[in-house]
Amino acid sequence: MPLLNEPGSYGAITKFFHWIVVLAFALQYAAGYTMTSLARNETALGLTQANFYNWHKSIGLIALLFASFRLLNRHFDRLPNWAPNLTRTEKRMMHDYETALYLAMFLMPVSGFIYVMAGGYGVHFLELAHLPNPIGKRPLLAEIAKWTHILYGYAVLIALAAHMSVVFRHQLVLQDGILWRMLPRRRHRQAASKNPSSITNAE
């Protein structure tokens, strides 16, 4: 698998950042749901509510770092051509969803960081060190950041669902192999051997 993108396929670096950010999003939503569902004296997976809050904040900052690397990679490594079977409407939709998701990769952790700092909660990073507070306690700013974080969290779920609906329609209904463009090459070749018509869409 090439490191950089090619005209018909994504490179290993782009795929790595794509899936690491997907994993971070999944962990954040799972942690967010768990920590808001637990009572202070309850535990889940051996972690208290406070532990989940700390890990949620820490993973958010790590996700922000990877999002920055992903954006740099997007800037310096030209994207492949669109998959041949995407319609003009689907291309426009995918572009809009992708824009929303890129915005989320930065807006979600930044608004979360502002909320916990302006709210006076702080960040105990990876439960190893307390990060300095560059903002100070500002209740109004904290409230704005909190609702930005919450509302955009729901907006991201809508954008993700729409994005996945296009991908799964092509992968499962049209069976043109579009998903293999973002998976390791070995998996693509196995799929292509079963469905030769998918080769031009995945390479």
Residue 196: pLDDT above 60? no
DSSP-derived letter for residue 181 is: G
Provide the residue range defining the domain that includes 101. Answer: 12-202
For residue 30, tell me if it sits in a domain: yes
Q: Which pLDDT band, with edges at 50, 70 and 90, does 113 fall under? A: very high
Q: Return d(Cα 125, Cα 66) in angstroms, integer.
A: 16
> What's the confidence (pLDDT) of residue 68?
93
Residue 91: pLDDT above 80? yes
Residue 164: pLDDT above 80? yes
Quick one: average pLDDT of 160-172?
Answer: 90
* Residue 87 phi, psi (nearest 5): -80, 170
pTM of the model: 0.81
* Residue 129 phi, psi (nearest 5): -150, 140
Q: Look up the CATH number of the domain holding residue 35.
A: 1.20.950
pLDDT tens for each residue of 128-158: 999 999 999 999 999 999 999 999 999 889 9
For residue 34, tell me if it sits in a domain: yes
For residue 55, tell me if it sits in a domain: yes
Q: Return d(Cα 37, Cα 27) in angstroms, integer.
A: 15
Q: Return d(Cα 202, Cα 140) in angstroms, integer.
A: 49
Residue 195: pLDDT above 70? no
Count of domains for the chain: 1
Q: Which pLDDT band, with edges at 50, 70 and 90, does 124 fall under? A: very high
For residue 116, tell me if it sits in a domain: yes
For residue 150, tell me if it sits in a domain: yes
Name the CA dihedral angle for 45, 46, 49, 51, rounded to a multiple of 10 degrees: -110
For residue 52, tell me if it sits in a domain: yes
> What's the confidence (pLDDT) of residue 185?
66
For residue 5, tell me if it sits in a domain: no
Helices (H), the chain: 12-37, 49-76, 88-118, 139-168, 185-194, 199-202
For residue 7, tell me if it sits in a domain: no
> What's the confidence (pLDDT) of residue 193?
39
